[in-house]
Amino acid sequence: MPDQERVPLVAPATHSYNDDDDDGDGDKGACCSMCTRRRLLLGWFVMCVALVAATVVAVQQGRHASAVEERTAFYACGVVDEALDPVHVPQELYPEVKARVEDVLPQWFNGTEALLFLQGGDVQLHFFADTERTFWQESNFRYLSGGYERPGGAWLLCSAALNDTVPWHPPPSQLRQHSLTCHLFVDKPTLADAIWNGKALTLEQLRAMYTIDHIHWKDDFATVVSPVLAALNVSEVDTMPASPQLADALPAPLDTLTRNRTRLRDVLGEARGVKTPTELRLMRAAAAVGSAAHNYILRSARKSEAEYQVEAAFVAVNTACGLQQQSYLPIVASGPRAGTLHYNTNMQPLEADWLLVDAGATVHGYGTDITRTWALSGHFSSLQRQAYEVVLGAQLAGIAAYRAGNTWVNATREAEHALLRGLLETQLVVNATFDALAETNITRVFMPHSLGHHIGLDVHDYVPGGLGRCRPSEDPLEPIECPGTLEVGMVVTCEPGLYFIPQLLQESYATPSLAPFLNKAAIDAFISAGVGGVRIEDVVVITQDAPDVISSGIPKTIKQIQHHVLS
């Protein structure tokens, strides 16, 4: 809230308090002098009482406003169901993920048996130091293990077969075309582990926490795996591509098999593209906390002085809900820096009454990706309003096109056409009709990224042929045409933007096919006003019916933002 105007409770004396002054005797003068002193003393007493009362009221109002903001900020922690439990992974997660992977295996293995091996991540040190970086589990390992989040470089081995003689598999009556069984192997804790990290969980405790089929010590790997290899009809093992953050060597006896490094990422990417009911619950929980954090900073950011203070407020809401990691490094970009797509230095003073915040919460690795841009004061200038309305129109058009069966190409075209209409209305582009400009790449000058991307365990989930994974080249002016189709259960972002990036503009001014249509005077006016860029981003679940925007609890229209910021 803005500071209340302080009206003087007692005006400075500009005249005598003795309204009956005359040329009377000295006694009367002395009496009147005494009356004046009494009146002054009484006035000062009234002023002091009034000041104390005003202070009490102000403190109470401040406490009330602070309490309201805190309730607003932390509300999501109590209203989301047990999916928000930051400690325990939902028991339903692994069975659902397992069934989803079984659904996609036939198209990749064509009825043949398969052996899948993944390595979990371990803590990484700060270069040559002995201090640890924040741990983040490898997403495919976390997915197929049903949410195993612990460091230690665990191993995961899954077999997919129709052969009921394989000891890991259920009886034939329960088999699908591919029946998947997974075993998790973890390090047996040592005395040093207990000293430095506390008492480790036993296998029984791990089995109670995670519903994966089996959990063993790594020491037993060869004993468990050898009879399975003897029974399976496989000559190769599927693994993820090599990564410098993961151990690459295969443990015996897997090291006798040929290694396929290319297929497994696509198999799991295909499965991860469509979320299970429990995955959606986790993402809705993350969206609820992320929305609460965005709502909090929408109102509180105008009291801040620097970008890092706004970032701290966003992170604080997440931490208060037990979420100690973000989906990605928050982007808090003020003024001209809002035109830098992945700006995350977040160390500059707030300026130009303009702020873009791109940040998301994560629950058990399932994240969100939400962006809002607004006038810090709550009052949009004419240029701010114009830029914002252009992007809002494009986003609403894009979300409306996010329907099952529609293609990425069509959804992108709808948003880009809305963006182009806005560019024409604001006269940022000129000298041609809409139809003529629609045949060019003119919108790429102002939005050099895709309309959105898949999201889940990675903020940019990998899905073969999916949105955000089909850029033809590194040229920002090249069109992006994704061949994929939207399916029920997919979770994607919709994040059109309008940016004034000096380097890209200079290149565009020098491009003969673009330069005649760019209105440099209008562009320069936005740059001079400090409107570096605008992005509006929400997380959308594809359903059988209308798209479900799970981050819709954050103000988005200018009227909504003004009401929220100024209330």
Assign 3-class secondary structure to 58-116. HHHHHHHHHHHHHHHHHCHHHHCCHHHCCCCCCCCHHHHHHHHHHHHHHHHHCCCCEEE
User: Among 315, 402, 371, 413, which Cα is nearest to 499's?
Assistant: 371
Q: Does 281 lie in the same domain as 233?
A: no
Residue 364 lies in a domain: yes
Q: Does 256 lie in the same domain as 368?
A: no
Tell me the C-alpha distance between 518 and 427, whole Å: 9
Tokens 């089995």 -> residue = 207
Q: Considering 49, 74, 99, which residue would you say is the last residue of a domain?
A: 74
pLDDT for 59: 33
| CA contacts within 13 A on the Cβ side of 401 | 24
Which residue type does 322 have? G
Q: Does 193 lie in the same domain as 259?
A: yes
Structure tokens at 305: 């002085």
Residue 460 lies in a domain: yes
Q: Does 146 lie in the same domain as 35?
A: no
For the chain, percent helix, then strand, then coil, each to nearest 5?
Answer: 45, 15, 45
Phi and psi torsions of 150, nearest 5°: -90, 145
3-state secondary structure 496-536: CEEECCHHHHHHHHCCCCCHHHECHHHHHHHHHCCCCEEEC
Q: Does 196 lie in the same domain as 144?
A: yes
For 70, 206, 274, 327, 458, the CA distances from 461, given in Å and listed in that order, are 33, 28, 11, 12, 5
| Phi-psi map region of 378: left, alpha, beta (phi>0 left; psi -120 to 50 alpha) | left
Give the total number of structural domains in the chain: 3
CB within 8 A of 248, min separation 6: which ones? 242
Orientation of helix 502-509 relative to helix 520-528, angle to 10°: 170
Residue 184 lies in a domain: yes
Residue 80 lies in a domain: no
Q: Does 298 lie in the same domain as 177?
A: no
Residue 79 lies in a domain: no
Phi and psi torsions of 104, nearest 5°: -95, -15
140 alpha carbon, distance to own chain's centre: 19
Tell me the C-alpha distance between 332 and 338, whole Å: 8
pLDDT for 207: 97
Helices (H), 169-232: 191-197, 203-209, 221-231
CB within 8 A of 456, min separation 6: which ones? 272, 275, 279, 283, 366, 367, 491
DSSP for 468-500 reads: TS---SS-TTS------B--TT-EEEE--EEE-
User: Among 160, 164, 156, which Cα is nearest to 114's?
Assistant: 160
Task: Name the E strands within 341-450.
Answer: 355-359, 362-363, 366-367, 370-374
Q: For residue 221, give the CATH number of its domain.
A: 3.40.350.10
- Give pTM, 2 decimals: 0.84
Q: Does 146 lie in the same domain as 221?
A: yes
pLDDT for 567: 85
CB within 8 A of 84, min separation 6: which ones? 76, 77, 285, 288, 289, 321, 322, 363
Question: 3-state class of 548 per DSSP?
Answer: strand
Please report, in angstroms and rounded to a whole number, the separation of the first and last CA atoms in the chain. Answer: 8
Consecutive H or E run containing 165? none
Q: Considering 17, 46, 74, which residue would you say is the last residue of a domain?
A: 74
Q: Does 283 lie in the same domain as 231?
A: no
Q: Considering 234, 250, 272, which residue would you say is the last residue of a domain?
A: 272
Residue 543 lies in a domain: yes
Which residue type does 387 have? A
Q: Does 472 lie in the same domain as 422?
A: yes
Residue 440 lies in a domain: yes
Structure tokens at 436: 């003529």
Cβ burial, residue 400 (10 Å; 0-12/13-18/19+): middle
Domain of residue 5, residue span = 1-74
Residue 464 lies in a domain: yes
Instruction: Assess contact for 238 and 260: CB atoms under 8 A.
Output: yes
User: Among 237, 233, 231, 235, which Cα is nearest to 251's?
Assistant: 237
Radius of gyration from C-alpha coordinates of the chain: 31
414 alpha carbon, distance to own chain's centre: 24
Tokens 């009956």 -> residue = 20
Q: Does 402 lie in the same domain as 327?
A: yes
Q: Does 321 lie in the same domain as 198?
A: no
Tell me the C-alpha distance between 464 and 330, whole Å: 27
Q: Does 92 lie in the same domain as 56?
A: no
Would you give per-residue pLDDT tens digits along the chain (567 residues)?
Answer: 333 333 232 233 333 323 333 344 444 344 444 444 444 334 433 333 333 333 333 333 343 344 444 444 445 565 455 557 888 999 999 999 999 999 999 889 887 889 999 999 999 999 999 999 999 999 999 999 999 999 999 999 999 876 444 444 554 444 456 689 999 999 999 999 999 999 999 999 999 999 999 999 999 999 999 988 988 889 999 999 999 989 889 999 999 999 999 999 999 999 999 999 999 999 999 999 999 999 999 999 999 999 999 999 999 999 999 999 999 999 999 999 999 999 999 999 999 999 999 999 999 999 999 999 999 999 999 999 999 999 999 999 999 999 999 999 999 999 999 999 999 999 999 999 999 999 999 999 999 999 999 999 999 999 987 765 566 567 777 777 777 899 999 999 999 999 999 999 999 999 999 999 999 999 999 999 999 999 999 999 999 999 999 999 999 999 999 999 998
DSSP for 217-272 reads: EGGGHHHHHHHHHHHS--SEEE-PPP-TTS--PPPTTGGGSEEE-SHHHHHHHHHH
Q: For residue 437, give the CATH number of its domain.
A: 3.90.230.10
Instruction: Assess contact for 181 and 165: CB atoms under 8 A.
Output: no
